[in-house]
Amino acid sequence: MAEPILEVKDLVKHYPLTQGVLFKKQVGAVKAVDGISFELAKGETLGIVGESGCGKSTLAKVLMNLERATSGQVLFKGEDISTLQGSALKAVRRNIQMVFQDPYTSLNPRMTVGDIIGEPFEIHPE
């Protein structure tokens, strides 16, 4: 197999459940993503499919560093994306594309599927 361009190692994202208004106390956690690991080589495509509420969008947000992981690592070209900021993070985000599960907000009905898939390559030809 080719050298992975994206490596995800034991990725976890939990949201705390709290109780109380003034003195909040954590009483549990929602386990949105719990121990995901995979590798993706250059040129490969990954589709994340599952029922509503299973953590697909949360996983995508953590992969883009839009949300911080509770634990685990996301490496893009060998670099931990959680340490990136500014232009370095922007450059990584340009190389990763998310298409969210709601087709009415993520897909333009005036474009063909081929045009939608090809659009990122027109914007970022490298």
If you compute the radius of gyration of the chain from its CA atoms, what whole number of angstroms results?
17
Q: Is the pTM of this model over 0.75?
A: no
At residue 106, the pLDDT reads 66
Looking at domain 4-101, its CATH superfamily turns out to be P-loop containing nucleotide triphosphate hydrolases (3.40.50.300)
- Phi, psi (5° rounding) for residue 100? -75, 165
pLDDT in tens, 26-84: 898 999 999 999 999 988 888 888 888 889 889 999 999 999 999 999 999 999 999 99
Query: Quick check: 99 and 122 in contact, CB under 8 A?
Result: no
Query: Is the per-residue pLDDT at 101 higher than 90?
Result: no
Give the pair of three-digit tokens for residue 43: 């040129």
Q: How many residues does the chain have?
A: 126
Task: Enumerate the domain spans of the chain.
Answer: 4-101
Distances from the Cα of 17 to the Cαs of 30, 57, 114, in angstroms?
A: 7, 19, 42
Tokens 């939990």 label which residue?
14
Query: Is the per-residue pLDDT at 105 higher than 70?
Result: no
